[in-house]
Structure formats: structure tokens, C-alpha cells
Structure 1
């Protein structure tokens, strides 16, 4: 039975960043990962099916984010600026616009006057319940579902206000070679220092007392350390105790369990479609749509799959479809092929191309239904009204022995991003290092 300073459960961005920070400080770690790969909700695939590496999970660096960009620089990994145009398709017409909500200025002004937090839908009903605002309410709900993968019936108005007041849409990047290059760098640093990053190691029980932890896995193995960092997705922590991948604590962590359930966790389905040509840039589509889409980055449509994006500024034949929030949850049990067909049908209606013709152009496709995956069970976190207090509880180590890390514990405008996960992992490792018993 190998003993290390710290056990980390979960080899996603938060867990590996925590491990990396501890190892750089001279500590020993054991990382347990339930999947047969590292990365968590980062999953870059490179195979013969697609012509270039594609991202099933996290894809963008949303802004000039210091932890992410500094780590890439340290690892010698480059990033590419993403320049694109926002297009919308409504009532059969294309329009270049990044104005997603009619009356947005009036709405945000009223929201900025709010003094006490409440679910966003409650705010809308209190301030914009008249029939004349029906379209605006729907647009806002769709925006929250699509961008934040959240349910506006319980999403915090304060948190969304903070996000919308700090948007940095001009600074977007992609990681050269995919996000997994960064993940591999973190894991390799740990392994090269003699530490284990173990795959197919499904943690089942955490037995703890002050400065002593034993983690048992479903295959009967046990791992011993002085501390443990729980770096699992929030959706898995919220799962029933008998669910696949769920862990139990002995003694129980009742206060932390309640806090975990007071933070929202969204749903998402991502659909990657590679065609034999960049058909949306063709003369035929330009004539049909009346728009030149050669610099289109994002396309928003009132359709079953409402969001698509390209690889702009590259003229790649890859289109990515995105469905978030409650609509994604409602489709989580659909077969992948049926979801792909929905995306083709949406593109058919938007671009006025027969579905059969689009199928004939399709050379590769992949559906990433993150909500249906046992070791994820959703997309990323969003705040409920109770979430700030819940985070305070979860950020406090239990007896300086049990620590939590993850993007859901980040408090700032980059919530739900890789930056949030990396920041949390770094912060929790520094908290562990301050512990004199380590």
C-alpha cells in the first residue's frame, strides 16, 4: 500500500493543477482517475476520422486569463487568437449582430439596480412580466441556457449580472494542438517526478480522520495519505450515493454535502460535424442566403440546435453544434445518431440545403453528451442564490484533511471555464501547503 503526502481524486484540470503545484513544491501525490484517460471535461481527440484534432469538451480560452496563459507559456504551448463575426438567423434571414436580446440595455440597467439576489426568472417576472416583453424573456432564458448551460428558474441574478458586466468578447483564443497538450504537460510533470496518475481507478470511499486518509476504489485497492483533495465534477458529487462513480465519506460530511447541492450544475450536448467542403462559404449559399459568411464564427438560430460555430479564422470544414441548459437535459437520453440528425436538420433549415445533401457532404461526426456521461453528469457550474455561502463552506478544509477543488468553487467572471478549474486547483494546493502537518 503506497503512502503519499496527498491523494487527489479526479484528473481533470483542477485535480492535475493541484497535483502539479504540490509536486513543484516537493510533495508526493497519487492521482486517481475513474476514466481511461485524463482531462475530465477536456477531451481532445486526434484520429483518422477527423482531419485535425477536435475538442469534445473545453475549446476556448475566454479572455486574457492569467493562470491559463501563464501555464501555456511555461509549457511552451502556443495559442491562436480567434477572430470571428457573430451571425444570427431569424425568420429566414441572416444578420450580422452580437445583440442577442432585444431591449438588452433597459434590462441590464434594471438588473444593475437590483439590491437583493433572486433567481433570474423571478426578476424577469417582477420587472418584465408584461406581454410586450415576452420575446425578451424567451431570448434571455435561451441565452442563459446556451452560454451558461443554466436553468434561469434557479440561476442567480447577481451572478449573471456580474458575468454580463465583465464580458471580454474581444479576447478569445484556442490552444494549439488542443487543450489536452496542456493537460498532458501537467500529468507528465507529476509522473516524471515519480508520482502516480492512475487511470480506471474509481474511488468509492474516503475514510478520514485528522491528517490521515484512506481512499478505497471499486476494484478493492486502497491508497493512504495525510490529505485528500476531491477534484470531481459537481454533477458527480451531487449524484445519488449508489450512482456509478459516486463516493462516500466516513465519517459523513453532512454540511459539505448540503453546500454541494446549493450550487447549480448545467447540461450540455456538443455536436462535431466535419464536411467535405466549407459549404457555408460557397457561392451557392451566398446566393441562397443573401449573405457572405466567409468570416462567420458563431451562428445563432431559432432552431432545435440553436448554436453553431466554425474554426474561424481558419477556413475549416468543421462545424460545431451546441445545445445547453434544460433543452440539453431533456435530450440527454437520446441516441447520439438521433442528436446528430437534429443538428443536420437545423443546418438544413438554416442554409436551405436538403438533409440528404448535407449527409452526403458529412465525412465525420461525433456527439459529446456530457450530461449522460457517468463520471461528469453535466457541463459546468452556475450560481444559485445560495451558492456564495455554499462556496465558503466548501473552501474551508475539513479538519485540515479533506479539501475540495473544481471550477464550481471559483468566484469570478470566468466561472465555468478551464481558467476557473486551474485557479481552484492552484489555490487548494497552496492551501494544503500552508498546513503545518504536511
Structure 2
């Protein structure tokens, strides 16, 4: 037994099983091989990821296989996680683990009796390695069902330094200044913003940042729980602010029609691809992964970000999101599935994706040096330092029928608003009708 393995022998049961942490709790180098205790077993993991995200998550799956011997199979669900997983359960082909991207979907799964509470080992790791907010969002009726492995910092605006330099502007501190900077970029010959209108979830993120800054955290929490109606003047005010951007064809690459035909990866390509069509793209920290992996951009030099700016005198918003791993009761391999979540709860597992890019971990024990660049370290530190003050993505807290379904609910209604932003009050009324039905159901 090597000196390192001898040291691990005195650590926690999780470290014994996975070789993931030192006795002091900090991250250590991968053990390389592990005990192969799950050799011959296979788990199926379902999630929304595709492209670069799926490729990088596969590295985490491969590391788990190397450590435990368990084989893995990833199944992409697309955006309609709830529908796809439900049909697989009904068909007797349930995955073992699902990476759930919305709090509302996790709650729906738990209340439907689809989930198995996580092991005490995982819960102990969550208590020690994560801020309490992450456990709260992963729990239903006092039981921990979801482990937040991947987080997002959704209050970042990414830009081409060359585009801003050419326009003679610097990263803005207020929303009004951002629109002025956008106009300067447009005047220099390049549309200001690439908007991924084909993906409705990006439009909810635009709204949430504006709303949190304008209306404040108390109303944000009330609206997220539907204790405040979407017809409230604060909602109409936020939609009005957003509509001013959506209706300005000089500021949006391709105008409204072009935005509605642009998905998220396409919006990043418009800014950081070989033939730039815009100077800025608003979305979360995961923009960096696409810019780096698909277009070879040096993060911090050729692709940079500024915090989503404060709106109308409010505070700069900090909106987050995340993907929670859950174990399905109807999965065929509960033992290996639970072991996989115990692995995901360790800083070692987070370090695998952190080094690849396009990833933030809510695990505060992950060494920031694990991230590949200073820009990502900056966003990761911001998220960890926010602790319990961060506000979780509002649409992710809603029932899936309202906040998490492609072509329906908030996603579709904000796409309709992008297409015609002339009547914010009418859009607010339609949002309230959809929310009332979904929350009642």
C-alpha cells in the first residue's frame, strides 16, 4: 500500500470508497484506479447536456469508471426532462440517475414518488462542503433528494474585447450604460447583442436579472413562489425594460426574427465564432466553455465578461442555477447510482470538469486552482462568496409546465414577447394565466 493509500485508510467512509478527499477535507490528486468495487455494474445517467457540456461531463463519468469499475451510459433528454423521464419510467426503462436542471422538476419528481433519498454519506458531504442553500434546493419535505453538482452564475455578460475597444467603450456598471455601450458597438458596424431566442430559457434569464435588480429580492422570492401575481406592476415594469432592448433592431443581431432563429450555442458563435456578428452575449458562466472548446478563445483575453449591471438604481443581481443529480427508484442499479452521487459530492469529481472549462461547482472545498483560467476562478469565487444570498433561477423554481418546458409556459410566452414586445401588460396577463394553471396543477 502506497503512503497515500495508507493515509486514506484513516479517513471517512466516503474517502475510503472513492479516494476523493484528504483527512483534512481538502481536495487531493485523483487516486488513479480506485478499488473497482463496482466492477461489472452499469448505470445510466440522463441529462440535458449536449455538445461541449456532454463531452466534459463524460470525463467525470470516465473518472468514476476508472475509480469504481462501474460502466456508465449517458442519455441526452433534451430540454423536456420531465416528459422524457416520465415516459421512460412508464416504459420500464428508467435511467438510474438524472441530472435535473430545475428545482421545480426535482420537486415534481420527489412528490410523484420517483426518487430515492440520498445516502447519509452524500448528505454528510453536502453538509460539510456546500452552503445551506444548495441543500435546501435539493430537499423536499425534509429529505435530501438532489445533489447540486454543476452550478451556474447567471449574472454575467460576455463580450469580445476587440468589439468594445473598436467602439471605444468600457464594460458598463449600469443597465442604461450597457445599452449606451451597445449603441456604440452598433454604430461601429457590429450589432451589439446576440440573443438566443430559439431557446426560451435564455429569455427567462434576461427577465430574472432585470426583475431582481428592479424589484428587489423580496418580490423576486414572492414571484418565484407565485405568492405575487405576474400581473403585478413590478412584472410589467421589468417586461417594459426588456422590451426596449428586444424592439431595437440595431442592438440585436438579425433583429427579432434572427434572435428567434438563434439557439444558445449559436448566440455564442455570433460573438466568438470565426465571423463575428455581434459584440456581446448575455448568459451564464458556461458561455466560456463554448467559446473555449468550440472556437478556441482564450478566456480573459479574447472572451471576457462583466457582471450583469444594476437596473434603475437597484443592486446588481446575482442569479444562479444548477443541475442536481437524483436517483430514480425505478432504476436498475441503486447501489452504483448511490455510489455515483457520493462521488459527485466530492471536490475530486468537481475538479475533473473544472479543469475542462465551462463549469462552476457549488462545492466550497474545491480548490479554485482546479479551474483553468483566472476568469473562471473569479466567477467561481463570486458564486461561493455569495453563499445563501444568491437567488436561484426563478423559472427553475417553477413547475415544469410553466418554467421548464420547451414550447410552453414562460419559455414560449417570452419568445412571443421577443417577437412582439409592444404590449408588456398583455404579456404579463398571459404569464399569470399560465402560472396559475401550472402552480395549481
TM-score range, shorter chain: under 0.3
- Greater fraction helix: 2
Larger strand share, 1 or 2? 1
